[in-house]
Structure 1
Amino acid sequence: MIYAENRRNYGQIDCPAPTILPAERLRRTRNASAAQDLLRLGKGAYRMNNESYSRNNELTDDGAAADGQYLQINCTGICAMNRSFTTYRPQGRRDYYLLFMDRGTLEVIREGQPQVIQPGHLVIFHPGETQWYVKHDDSEMVYYWIHFTGYGVPEVLSGCGLAAAGIYYTGPRQDITEAFREIFQNFIGRDSCYETAAAAQLLAILVRIRRSIDELECTRRGLIAGRLKASLNYIHSQYNRPISVRELAELEHLSPSRYCWLFRQQMGLSPHDFIIDLRLRMAADLMAKTDLSLKQIAHMVGYDDQLYFSRLFRSKRGLAPKHYAQSLLNLMDKEQ
């Protein structure tokens, strides 16, 4: 049977439990295409369409910290509820916890301050942090949740700009909930690489979250995320030939002046400086990976005049190309 202790552990319900289906039967009858588990309670019944999947396949899960794994999912699932409840873990857990709202509202209390979260909000709790949230009414509410751990988690969260515990907003995102369901599928199938695949899906979720936040920020600033995609792709494929601003602006159906303003806002550089930077990065890469001459490299990245290329490289990189190439050779000798 599913006991109150386990429900409290997962933070999904805190109320009496009359007639409940056996846990093993619940696990075997889950349908990954929708949260279809039904608790039948007689008169005054309410429905709780929940799913939960645990790495150790046990009813209880203490949120173990996996110091030997880069990224590991301990458990994950959905909480779908149309009844009031409270989750309160004063000591939190030993792993990280991400909660993503899909429907309805939930009140989250952090450092004594309540905040109502809605669809598109997510909360990240760190290990040992108090987890306290309340549903006050009987309206429909759905959230996706995941507990994860590993020595690489701080690096991953930092890389996605999500290092700080707290509340973030992406807006409603079906792609994020679909990625959660991909994780559920891996836990259902449990093939030889399900844990690696599930961890990869978690990375994808965190990246989607970051990009969704960035898209909202672009909208707030009057920009459009991905607005320069066509011209940026063109620059990266044609950087070694002359490229005019007018040519790039036409690809985005903008005037040259509007294009330059938008480009600088999004990329932090003018189109001209961005192309120069890309050419010099490609030149540095060729110096590191080939034995081509500086004249050949200069020509390959778009400069027929080697002397001009050398002056430009030195002004931007602080070293003449030949000294940069020599520093790479010295570094390789030390490593050997």
Structure 2
Amino acid sequence: MEFIYTDSIGLTDLSVLEVGTQQCLPAMTFGPSVRDMYILHYVHSGYGTYTAGRHTEQIGPGGLFLVVPDTVHTYEADADEPWRYSWFGFVGTMAPRLALLAGFTSPTPVREAPPSGAAAALFADLMSLRDESAKELLLVGQLYRIFGMLAVPDDTPALQADVGQHVRKAVSYMNARYAERIGLDDIAAYVGLDTKYLCRLFQQRLSMSPYRYLTDIRMRKACRLLRRQMLSIAEVARAVGYPDPLLFSRMFKRTIGVSPTAYREKAKLESTAGSP
């Protein structure tokens, strides 16, 4: 396994925290786990499976999969032909939008790289930047190149541009107002569309409803707050838009798979185990 860890240089739009490459052992498994950054993997050879929530996909050479912050995920190498992959770990205000533009959508953000072979070349060059004095900037530039290559082309430009614009506007609104008691009517009114039409656009673009997307945002934020161990469950609930702690607990368990209390306890144990 080879790693490059980087130092923060104040980039807020997009910042690469680590890159690496690994030839996995047969049946080697990572997770179930929750991370606080995005991790984009490219599979050079071999096979494995990626599970996000309750959805699992098998991935082979040329496949890409994205780990999304604050979501439970597991990936496992094939027992006969284990995969070799490289990855970027990154954060930033542009990260959700770049993931959307690159075609990584829920419930399982997986896609194939373009057939040109450019993705393989970009991921293969990562370790060559280890000794560069400005490696943080070079890695960010490399990641932007990858997302630019993966940007999903519009099949019908005039219509699809509007679709993407409306969905992005709704997503921005939800990311800014998730802590408030907003609903589908509020989102549709902000975008300027009928609620049913907005739902159709979300299904077309993201394969989920606006309500599901808003719930996912709230649960990701809740996971981060619970890991910090600073707020009560009721305070976390209110911080992510749920005045009723019982409703929050039901939605959290339905989405994440465990109760907020159990999630917090597991995070505390993991933190203690990782302490020197």
Scaled by the length of structure 1, what TM-score is found? 0.41
Scaled by the length of structure 2, what TM-score is found? 0.49
